[in-house]
Every structure is written in C-alpha cells, then in structure tokens.
Structure 1
Amino acid sequence: MTTSGFEAYKRLLGYARKYWGAFALGILGFIINAQTEWAGAQVVKYIIDAIQNKNQHAKDFFPVLIVLIFLLRGVGTFLGNYFMSLVARNVVYELRRQLFDKLLTLPSAYFHRHSPGHISAKLVYDVEQVTGAATEALKTIVREGTVVTCLLGYLFWTNWRLSLSLLLIAPPVSFIVRKASKRFRTLSHRIQNSMGDVSHIVNESINGYTVVKSYGGEAFERARFETASRENLRQSMKMVVTASLNTPLVQLLMAVAMSFVVYMALQPHILGNVSAGEFVAYITAAGLLSKPMRALTDVNEKIQRGIAAAQSVFEMLDVDGEQDGGDRDAGRCRGELEFRHLDFAYPGGEPVLRDINLHIPAGKTVALVGRSGSGKSTLVNLIPRFYECAPGQILVDGQPLQSYTLESLRRQIATVNQKVVLFDTSIAANIAYGALADAPAEAIESASRAAYAHEFIQKLPDGYATRVGQDGTELSGGQRQRLAIARALLKDAPILILDEATSALDNESEYFIQEALETVMKNRTTLVIAHRLSTIEKADLIVVMEKGRIVQTGTHTELLAAGGLYAQLHSRQFADDPDAVSA
C-alpha cells in the first residue's frame, strides 16, 4: 500500500533523527543568517536617521555594522549549509544502503514481477530524486523559512496593522501551492515509470545485443526506445510548464500584496509621525520577503519529486523479505531429499508442478528428463527455497526445508546453471565468491584443475588475477562454464544441482568435465538436468517429467525397456545425434 505524501516525507525526515545534533547546529546557523535580513533593514533605518539628525558618531559606526552583519551572515550560512548537508547526505546514504540491503533479501517472486530496469531505476533515479528533497529542498525550507519568519516578525513588530494586509494573500497562495503540489507528485510518478521503461529497454538491448544484431532488431529497439524516451520528455515538459506557471502566479500575488502595503504606508494616517528611516526600513523588510518566498515556491517541485521518489523507495523497502523462520542449523547434512505431494505455481500463473512425490537417498545421482517446460528447473530451484512450495513439502534429511535457516540450508547446495553468472572482478574472486572468499589459493587452483579450467587460466595475461569483464564477456562460453563448475567444486556441498552444466562445452572439454563431475558426485546427492547421454545413462535414477508431473522413474536400461515417454525422447534425439537426449 502506497503511503501518503505527508507520511512519506515525515518518514524520510525521520532518518535525520540520529543526527539531531548536527541538525540543531544547522538550524542555529540559518537562524543567525535570518537575523541579518531584518537587521539589514534596521541598519537602513539607522543610517537614514543618522543623516537626518546629523549624528556623525552614528555615521562613523555604520561601516562597522555592515562588516558585522556580513560576518554573522557568513558564519550562519556556513553552519547552516554544512550541517544541514551533513544530515541530508547521511540520510540519503542510509536510504541507499537500506535499499540495496533490501534488494539482496527480496524473495524471487519480486524479481519475477518486476523487470531489472524498473528495479535499477529505483536505486539510481529515484534515490537521486530523494536526494534533491533531502538536501537542497530541506536546506531551502529551513533557511528561507527562517528568513520569512524573522522578516514577518519584524514587520508585525514595526506596524502590525499594516502587516496584516500581507496575510490576505495566504489563502490564494495556499490554493495554488496545493494544486501545484498534487500536479508535481502525479507527474513525478509518471516520470519515474517512464525512466523505468527507458532503463528496462536499455538493459534488454544490452543483454540481448547478439539477438538484436542477428535478427535485424535495431529498428524495432530504436522505435521502442524512442517511444519510452518521448514519453519521458512529454511528462518532464509538463513538469516544467507546471513549475513555470506556479512561481509567477505566486510572485504576482506577492507583488499585489506589496503594492497594497506600499500604498497604505504612504497614507499619512497609517504610519503617523514615523521617521523616514522607519518608513524605508519597513518597506525594505517587506521587499526582502520576495526572494525567500520565491525560493520556497520554487522548492515545491523538488519536494514533490522527492516525495514521489520516497514513496517508490519506501514501497520497495516495505516489501516482505524472504521468510526465514527456521531455527535449525543444517550443519553438514547427508543430502537425503524427499518431495511429498508437492504443487507449485508462479505468482499469478498456472500450476507448474503437480503432486510431485519423489525420494532421493543421500549420495545418489538423479537425472531429470522431459520436454521443455515440464518443470525440471522449477523443481530443483525449490530446494534452495528461491520460492515457497504450497501445498506439499520438501524434506532434507527428514526435516522440512522451512525448519532450517536459509543460510545453513543454502550452504548445503552447490548449483551450476546453463546461464553462468560471473562478476566483473578477478577469476579467483569469481571462483571463491561470497562465503568462499577466504578460500586459500591452493584450494582455488585445485578446484580449477578438477574443472579443467587451470590450463586456460594460466594462459591469461594475469592468470587468476585476470578480470573477466562484465558478465564474463572476456571469456568464451565454455570457459565461463568451467569457472562455474570450479566454483561449485570449491564449495564442496553435499547437494549438487547441475542444470545443463555442460551445455556450453565442446565434446572434448565435456569428456574431461564429465570425468571431474563423476568424481565430485561421489558421496553427494546430485540432481542433473542434462541433454547428453553420457550424464543421463549413468544416473542411479532417471525421473521423466511431463506437464509438471512425474510420469516415469527408473534407470536408463529400465526406462528404455518399458517404452513410454523416455523411450520416445531417446529415439527422437538419437536418430540424428547419438550423444544427446531431451532435457
């Protein structure tokens, strides 16, 4: 549920609570600065009266007053700007850190519903808009608000009857600001969405550049980007029009009020027998209201942008993270797996798995076979609890997955997927990633040798220190796959999941990799999704899936003898390629 604008801004400012000392010093600085505004008007009165009264002593003291006022203004401005910026930047830092922390703990369903482009836009674009509301806007509100308050106080102290006329513009100004605020916030949400669309299209074009180039998709992607960018431009210009009308309207009302004040002040019965200095000082102070009022009006756009961005950010922060209700530490489990009456459907989708019942003894190798979309990858992805299954249960060593803490459960599982994920850092850091970061160099090299990656790593310019580029673009597909296998070998987990783990390797590389995998599979529970006979035929058990159900189980020989779907898949695939079978 989206919070209101007031609640979002209040919550945003709540982050400043821990920096209350710096906040107070910033307020003090702006209060000092504000005093110099009305003091300037008073100095004008002082010098005019000194000239009229021919008071030379007062004239001589005038330069000292000027220097003193600007000195105080400088001190106040420094204190206010520095400490308010200190608070604001720390608030934004804390907000950005919390947002990234939340990103790392969000359930897989969130990433299923939101595109990477829209998620990254929250961390990049939205947080920057919050920065505007929490830095420049906050400083302007405090600084100019204090100035307006002090000037109004001075005006009412000088002549409260005349000053009441200034309040006549309060209702229309309030109406304009309220309408503009609502418009700003609506347009800000639209701009955020359009920026998410732009980011989404850019990410897709970058990630799929080979498909774009191979299939002549440049014109299509260009048109998509043009549409999204033009929508962003259209909404941004609406924001400009609203801001451009808002400020002049408020300024016009201020001018009308000031004209009325000047007119009234020039009437003899209003000011009475006041001195010329007092009259000029009053008019000067009233004129000084224009600048801070304009600044307060202009800052409304930044505030509304920041509020809209804060609502977007808080919406993500308020998403429930992964449920980790387990209190059992798995230690190092044996690896026994059991699926009981398991059903599963992705959020808002049709059932993908239906009544799965399967027992896998510890240390056994099970191959999952079936047509594309039969639910094989979904089934293995439920084991690390990337999604919660209901109804039904998955048990590890006889205990439900939910009874283990997420950290200890995922420590038991090593995964190698068809799509290898590598980070733009060194080869050694990619193999010894995350919790493996403290692994000694000897262990990293041993895992690389077992994955037949050591030889090509040694030939790279910096060996294990070579950076792989974004998503491993500096390496071939087979090299990336071997690094992923080395990472899984280094983890040395009792449960191993191989989802098309050898798909990117040539026949010779696969032969050696298969030898390494057969070694590492010993005494480990291994689930294999593969399309090559060399892996499937040696499995202890082959599970054949169709439309989310298990339709056959048995060894390679048993299933061929029994006929059915496995025999059909086998005969079709091997008619053209004796080294393959459908996954």
Structure 2
Amino acid sequence: MADKTGWLAYKRLLGYSKAYWGAFALGVLGFILNAQTEWAGAQLIKFVIDAIQNKSQADKNLFPLFVIGIFFLRGVGTFMGSYYLSLVARNVVYQLRKELFAKLLVLPNQYYHLHSAGHLSAKLIYDVEQVTEAASEALKTLVREGFVVIGLLGYLFYTNWRLSISLLIIGPIAAGLVRKASKRFRMLSHKIQHTMGDVNHIVNETINGFAVVKSYGGQAFEQQRFEQASRENLKQSMKMVVTASLNTPIIQFLMAVAMGFVIWLALQPHILGDVSAGEFVAYITAAGLLSKPVRSLTDVNSKIQKGIAAAQSVFELLDSPVEPDHGQYQASRVRGDLEFKQVSFSYPTGERVLHDINLTIPAGKTVALVGRSGSGKSTLVSLLPRFYELNEGQILLDGQPLSDYTLASLREQVANVSQKVVLFDNTILHNIAYGSLANKSFAEVEAAAKAAYAHEFIEKLPEGYQTRVGQDGTQLSGGQRQRLAIARALLKDAPILILDEATSALDNESEFYIQAALETIMQHRTTLVIAHRLSTIEKADLIVVLEAGRIVEQGTHAELLAKAGLYAQLHSRQFAEDEDLPS
C-alpha cells in the first residue's frame, strides 16, 4: 500500500511536467544520445583491436576521428539532457511552491491551530527542497543512467545473447534489495521531515519570544530543547546514511559476482568459439561499463524516496480543504444590521465555547461585550468575518445569512483592531495601506493616521511614512503599533467595526485621544467592542455580559448597574482596583 501511494505521489509530481513536455522531450533525447556513446565506446575498442590485428592503417587513421565524434556527441547529449530536464524540474518546483503558498492563504483558521508555524514553514522550505532533489537531480540521473543501462544491455544481447542472460540472474535479488531499501528510505524521510519541523518550530518560538526567554532565564531550557530536536534529526539522518551506504556496495558486489561469472563463462573454449579478441574485449568492456550507471541508479533511490516522502507531505497540505466559500451574494456596502439566532460554536477539539447566543444589533449601534477571560467574547466576534464556521444557529447581516455572502465581499464590510497587532516588515505607509487598501491615496492614509493620533510620531521618524517598522513592528512601541492598526481600520472605512482590546497597549494620555477618535469613527457604524476596562464602554448603546459562553445579562450601563448582577460585580471590583492604583 505504501509503495502504491508513493508511486501515485511521484506520478502526480511528474504530472506537473506536462506543461513543459517539449523541453522534457528534448532532455530525454539528449540523454538518449549520451547513452549511445557508452556502447559506442566499447564498439570503438573492438574496432581498434581488430585494426591492429588486421594491420589496417586506414582503420587506424579513422580512430582519432571516431574518438572526437563520440565525445562531441556525448557533450551535446549531456548539455541537452541536463539543461532541458533542469528547466522542467525547476519550473515544476517553482509551480509547486507557488501553489503551496497560495494554499496557505486560503486554509481555515483551525488548520493553523492544529499545525505550528514551524512545521508549516518546514513544508514550504525543507520539503520542497527534497522535492527539488527528486524532480531535478534524481530525475536527470534516472533518465541518463537508465538509458545508458538500456543501451549497454542492448549491445551486450546483440553481441552475445546467451552469455548476457547470466547477467540478469542478479536482477530479482537486486530488485528485492532496492524495494526493501525504498521502504526504509521513505519511512526515514518522513521522520526527518518531522524532526526538521520540530527544529524549525523551536527556532521560531525562541526568536518570537526572545524577550520572555531572556527575562525568565530560559536560555538553558531552549538550548536543551533545540539540542534534543537536532539530535533526533541527526539520528534519523544517520540511519538514512547507513541504509544508503549499505545498499550501494551490496548491489555492486552482486554486479561483481555476475561479472565474474560472465568472464569465467566467456573464457570457456566452447563458449568463445570463433569470437575475435576485439569482440571479446568489447563485450567485457561494455559489461564493465554497466557498473557505474547501476551504482548511480542505486544511489539515486534515496533521493527519489526522500522526494516521494516530501511530495506526500506537500500534497497532503495541497489537498487540505480550504475555507468554505459557497456564497454568491456580493454587497458593495451593507447597512450593518446584525442578528445572532441560537448561535452555538465548538472548536475542532470538541470544546464548546458558545451556547445559544441570541442577539440583535441595529445598524450604527455600539455593542460592548463584557465578561471574564474565556467567556467567549473574542470567539463571538471572530464569527462575523467567518474566521470560523458555525456549528449551530445562524448569523444574519442585513437580514441575509453570512454564508450567502462571498468571503471577500463579507470581509470588505468588517474592520478589525485587536489586542495583538500584526505588522509586516515594510514601511509604515505599506502597513496602513495594506492589501486591498494599497490603492488609497497618500492624503487618505495621512488623514487616517491623524485620526488615529499616529501622524505626529510618524513625522518624527527618520523617513516618515517610508520608515520600515521591522519584523512585527519591533522598531515601534506597543502604543505606536496599536495606533497604526487603528489607522489601518480607519482607512478601510468598513460599516462594521470590531475593537478587541483596541486600546490595551496605550498609555493613559494616548488612550484619551484614541478613545475620542474611536467615538468619532463609531458613529454610523455597527461597532462591537471588547474591553476589560469597563470605563471605556460605559457609553455603549448596549452592553452584553457573557459567562461561560452564554449571555447572562444585557442592557445599558445604568440598567446593568441597577440589576446588581455580574456586570455590577465586575464594575465594582475594577473600580476598587483603580482606586488602589497609585496616583
């Protein structure tokens, strides 16, 4: 079964070369031409020996021309084969890498929850490199040496078919060894891929969390983790080396045994008969020339099996289901009426985080979601842009189910500012006018930055809006990063706004100005606000209190305080904490 799936993966990989069949055919033609020069060399030895024995000076004079001709044809064939097959292979890998990255962009959120960034990037970098080996060097060796073996065997059988049959005795034994080695190569390749993913994952975590590692003295622990993963990778790699190192000499030994048997037979008087010295030497030379291509074909098996294992890993990702996008409706701009009808949601792990949510939000209103950590606030708002699909119930936007909208159209209607700000290693201008906002004018970008109180600090930077922010915005403070995220949301000008702890990274002064800016942009927009600081949401049109994934209270700030329920408890507790803070 493993062999079947391996062959199917390799067949699918080679299927990518169909678009380049012309170049592939020229490459194969080049290696066929190259292969003919191998047995032609053996025939040339026969020609020379016979010329010496027959004392034919005319034939002797032709010998240099034949040598030049053979090497010229070999050079032309080698160039054609190597160039055109490399052209095909590199284009295949280029296409595969493009498809893989494109797939990463449309995978559902839960896929990223189940697979670490380190393992995913290992697929894109390490696994694709292994596919490169199978699709380029291994393919070239397979075609080149394969045709050499076919050419030499054809010559041997043409010269003396009875004697040549004995060479095939080792065929079944060698095939059995190659088959067994192939299974082990593929099994070890899968393990190496996994260990490379572990190494990559640890490196990514350590780099991203370097501040925590240094602050809490985690260097020794991370070093130990890295060494353990690297040691496991080394262990599996050495197992691969041992298998490859044993496989090739065993096949060569079998070839030597077969060659010894052939030579012994050939030297028997009744076998040689009236064969000339030239024919005998040419035959033995051609048989001896088989050793190199057979060894190369044996060596290439490990590369092919690595490539097959990598291709299986890559195709597994490529075949993963994408975000469902069956909606047909495309809205230019919605009003923003939202209605949650008996909405329940569970993560792929089976943990239910939302239970029977019923909530109506009129267009242009501000709704604040309040509750303890883990109550389901962030999960609820993430259902709006369909980062997750509902398990039960329905969410309506302007009276139409979210599933009726195309994903692109739906997400155009929603702007999101979360506690975790994502910035790219590019300019401030690029980070504000990101993606579909890239066509916005500089004046619009500047206006959004001013409204987010980011313009002033941007102008003080060395290159202003052209200043690069570093990986994940490391050149900026937390408050500055948050203001850029708010400016991005302002520039999008979507009718629905989600603020998930949007002011959490700001100091008190910045928060005052940002809060004023947010109050301005929230006008005429449907806004959902998540904030632990209850003072920031007191002016909301509706406050919804969540507890363990259920709505337990809803009303205005004054109404909820009058109820003396969970909201009043949270409010009084936070008020007391604020009173305790030093002035």
Normalised TM-score (structure 1): 0.98
In the other structure, the counterpart of 2:477 is: 476
- The residue identity in structure 2 corresponding to 1:88 is A
Deviation at 1:256, TM superposition (A): 0.4
- Whether 1:86 aligns to 2:82 is no
Alignment of 1:154-173 (within 5 A): 154-173=155-174
The residue that corresponds to 1:316 in the other structure is 317
Tell me whether 182-191 or 219-228 shows the greater mean CA deviation.
219-228
Q: Deviations over 1:344-381 (max 9, x none)?
A: 01102310000000000000000000000000000000
Please tell me whether residue 365 in structure 1 is matched to residue 340 in structure 2. no
Give the CA deviation at 1:578: 5.4
The amino acid across from 1:531 in the alignment is H
Structure 1 runs not aligned, ≥5 long = none
Q: Is 1:519 matched with 2:556?
A: no
SS of match in other structure, 1:437: helix
Aligned equivalents of 2:203 and 2:567: distance in 1? 42
Q: 1:545 matched to which residue of 2? A: 546
Q: Secondary structure, in 3 states, of the residue corresponding to 2:13?
A: helix
| Structure 1 range deviating more: 526-535 or 503-512 | 526-535
Query: C-alpha offsets along residues 239-298 of structure 1, whole Å, 9 cap, x if unaligned?
Result: 011001000100000010111111111112112111111111001100100000000000
For residues 536 and 416 of structure 2, the distance between their equivalents in structure 1, rounded to whole angstroms, comes to 16
Q: Is the 8 A contact 1:336 1:360 kept in 2?
A: yes
| Structure 1 Cα separation of the partners of residues 535 and 365 of structure 2 | 16
The aligned counterpart of 2:300 is 299
8 Å Cα contact 1:534-1:579 kept in structure 2: no
Q: Which amino acid aligns with 2:229?
A: A
Residue aligning to 1:420: 421
**Matches of 1:43 and 1:459, distance apart in 2:** 80
Task: Tell me which moved more, 6-15 or 206-215.
Answer: 206-215
The one-letter code matched in structure 2 to 1:442 is A
Q: Structure 1 CA distance, aligned partners of 2:534 and 2:320?
A: 44
8 A Cα contact 1:418 1:500, kept in partner? yes
Residue of structure 1 equivalent to 2:500: 499
Aligned sequence identity (%): 74
- The 8 Å contact of residues 414 and 492 in structure 1, kept in 2 or not, is answered as yes
- Which residue matches 1:134? 135
C-alpha offsets along residues 209-231 of structure 1, whole Å, 9 cap, x if unaligned? 11111111112111111111111
Judge conservation of contact 1:533–1:579 (CA < 8 Å) in 2.
Answer: no
* Paired AA for residue 489 in structure 1: L
Partner of 1:145: 146
1:320-361 deviation per Cα after TM superposition (whole angstroms, max 9, x unaligned)? 101000000021000111100000011023100000000000
Counterpart Cα distance in 1 of 2:20 and 2:150: 24
Q: Is the 8 A contact 2:118 2:201 kept in 1?
A: yes
Structure 1 residue matching 2:153: 3-state secondary structure? helix
Give, in whole Å, the separation in 2 of the partners of 1:212 and 1:340: 45
Q: Secondary structure at the match of 2:439?
A: coil
Q: Distance in 2 between matches of 1:63 and 1:380?
A: 82
Moved more, 173-182 or 2-11: 2-11
Pair 1:190 & 2:191 matched: yes
Distance 1:254 1:475 in 2: 67
CA distance in 1, matches of 2:232, 2:89: 31
Contact 2:6 / 2:309 at 8 angstroms: preserved in 1?
Answer: yes
Structure-2 residue corresponding to 1:282: 283
In 2, the alpha carbon distance for the partners of 1:410 and 1:128 equals: 35
Give 1:9's aligned residue.
10
The SS at the match of 1:4 is: helix
Query: Which residue of structure 1 lines up, in the alignment, with residue 271 of structure 2?
Result: 270
| Aligned position for 1:216 | 217
Which residue is equivalent to 1:40? 41
Whole-angstrom CA distance in 1 between matches of 2:275 and 2:353: 87
SS of residue paired to 1:340: strand
Match of 2:100 in 1: 99
Query: Secondary structure of 1:384's match?
Result: coil
- Aligned runs of 1:425-444 on 2, under 5 Å? 425-444=426-445
Note the C-alpha offset of 1:404.
Answer: 0.2
Shift of 1:530: 1.0
1: CA distance between counterparts of 2:390 and 2:211?
36
Once residues 182 and 27 of structure 2 are traced to their aligned partners in structure 1, the CA distance between those partners, rounded to angstroms, is 26
Shift of 1:520: 0.5
Would you say how many aligned residue pairs link Structure 1 and Structure 2? 580
Structure 1 residues 551 and 544, CA gap change in structure 2 (3 angstroms)? same
Q: Which secondary structure state, in structure 2, belongs to the residue aligned with residue 326 of structure 1? A: coil
- Secondary structure of the equivalent of 2:392? coil
**Secondary structure of residue in 2 paired with 1:392:** strand
Deviations 1:438-478 (A, max 9, x none): 11100000000000000111111111011110000011100
CA contact (8 A) 2:482 2:503 kept: yes
SS at match of 2:275: coil
2: distance between equivalents of 1:217 and 1:385? 38
> SS of the counterpart of 2:436?
helix
Deviations along 1:491-541, whole A, 9 cap, x unmatched?
000000000001000000011111111111000000000122442101000
Question: CA–CA distance in 2 between the matches of 1:421 and 1:476?
Answer: 13
Mapped to 1, the partners of 2:579 and 2:246 lie a distance apart of 74
Amino acid of the residue matched to residue 248 of structure 2?
T
Cα deviation per residue 1:18-52 (whole Å; 9 max; x = unaligned)?
11100000000000000000000010001111111
- State whether residues 534 and 571 of structure 2, in contact with CA within 8 Å, keep that contact through their aligned partners in structure 1: no
After TM superposition, the score normalised by the length of structure 2 is 0.98
Q: Structure 1: which 4+ aligned runs deviate by more than 4 Å?
A: none
Q: Is the 8 A contact 1:500 1:529 kept in 2?
A: yes
- 1:323, 1:271 → 2: CA distance? 74
* Partner Cα distance (2:104, 2:372) in 1: 33
Q: Give the match's secondary structure for 2:335.
A: coil
- 1:579 deviates by 11
Which residue in 2 is equivalent to 1:334? 335
The answer as to whether partners of 1:368 and 1:529 remain within 8 angstroms in 2 is yes
Q: Which amino acid aligns with 2:372?
A: R
Residue type matched to 1:457 in 2? I
Distance in structure 1 (CA, Å) of the matches to 2:309 and 2:539: 58
* Larger displacement relative to structure 2 (493-502 or 213-222): 213-222
Counterpart amino acid of residue 401 in structure 1:
L
Paired with 2:99 and 2:126, the residues of 1 have a C-alpha distance of 16
